[in-house]
Amino acid sequence: MKEQFYAYIQQLQDTITSKLEEVDGKAKFQEDVWKRAEGGGGRTRVIENGNIFEKGGVNISKVFGELPEVLRKQFGVESGDFFACGLSLVIHPKNPFVPTVHANWRYFEMYDGEGNIVTQWFGGGQDLTPYYLFEEDAVHFHSVCKEACDKHHPDFYPKYKETCDNYFWNAHRNEARGLGGLFFDYLKETEEFSMQDRYDFVTEVGNSFLNSYAPIVERRKDMEYTQEHKDWQEVRRGRYVEFNLVHDRGTLFGLKTNGRIESILMSLPPTVQWKYNHHPEEGSEEAKLLVVLAKPKNWV
């Protein structure tokens, strides 16, 4: 399973970076291959200062070895080895009317002293973070997510949509990071689903990603904007940073397993503002976004 999924994310990274370069029309992804001293490594690809994408990364990694102490405590084991691989991406567009997007699909195995698999699971998802609310974009993104889920089980979309709304919640701000999407974790083998079923579902979602996001980029990329729009985008990007550094499990996992810091912090936007006690004007387009972020909405 681990070889199968790692081969998949290598191919998916190629597919996604090629399409995003085509959409941008100017910038190319710079590739950075790295190694982890304890075992494994990764292939980081970053795009910067494009026509459309101000900064973005599409990274894959495969790490393995002895379980770090923090994970031994988390899993309640005294010793053990692990393997983890995944693809993680974050794209920050230049135009404030084009939303930021994040996605991640990953696989984890843990072993006993004999090298036998003790537990294994898939996790991941994708979510949309706009700076201005266009309902048709939210509907499109969620429709693609639902379509991918529905091919595997009718309960998947409502369940993983709700998990996403709960997960990408900036508790210290009492607001959502964005408009949600899908989030699932610890997808293990059950009586109903084999690990191959789990693999088929996760790859279905991964394959649907470009269709969920690229049409929105095409629709918004040429809209004219002002410095005021850009200022608001940068204030909201600050909330994005807060979530990633305070709450995000993936970021914290990377930091606690001696991951590569440049790849972990690739998710942070290039320019951000923190304005003291900032509130948009009542009834403004900016304020409309905050209404939706205060209470998750069913888009489809």
Domain borders along the chain are 2-274+284-294
The burial class, CB within 10 Å (0-12 / 13-18 / 19+), for 190 is exposed
Mean predicted confidence (pLDDT) in 111-124: 91
The whole-model pTM stands at 0.95
The pLDDT assigned to 256 comes to 77
Residue 191 has what DSSP assignment?
A: S
Is pLDDT at 71 greater than 80 in this prediction? no
Tokens of 109: 């195995």
184 secondary structure, DSSP code: E
Amino acid letter, residue 245: L
Catalytically active residues are 102
- Write out pLDDT tens, residues 246-261: 999 888 877 877 778 8
Nearest alpha carbon to residue 109 among 34, 41, 44, 189: 189
Residues of the chain above pLDDT 70, percent: 100
Q: What is the per-residue DSSP string for 83-108?
A: EEEEEEEEEEESSTTSPEEEEEEEEE
What distance in Å separates the CA atoms of residue 2 and residue 267, rounded to the nearest whole number? 25
**Minimum mean pLDDT range among 78-87, 98-107, 187-196:** 78-87
Closest CA to 95 of 46, 130, 119: 130
Q: Under CATH, which architecture does the 2-274+284-294 domain have?
A: 3-Layer(aba) Sandwich (3.40)
pLDDT at residue 90, as a whole number = 97
- Tell which wins on pLDDT, 104 or 80: 104
Least confident among 6-15, 59-68, 230-239: 59-68
Average pLDDT over every residue of 106-132: 94
Give me the pLDDT at residue 67, please: 84
Are 101 and 123 contacting, i.e. CB atoms less than 8 angstroms apart? no
Cβ atoms of 234 and 272 closer than 8 Å = yes
**110 within 8 A of 117, measured Cβ to Cβ:** yes
Q: What gap in Å lies between CA 28 and CA 210, rounded to an integer?
A: 17
- pLDDT band (50, 70, 90) for residue 238: very high
Percentage above 90 pLDDT, the chain: 86
Give the span between the Cα atoms of 124 and 249, in whole angstroms: 11
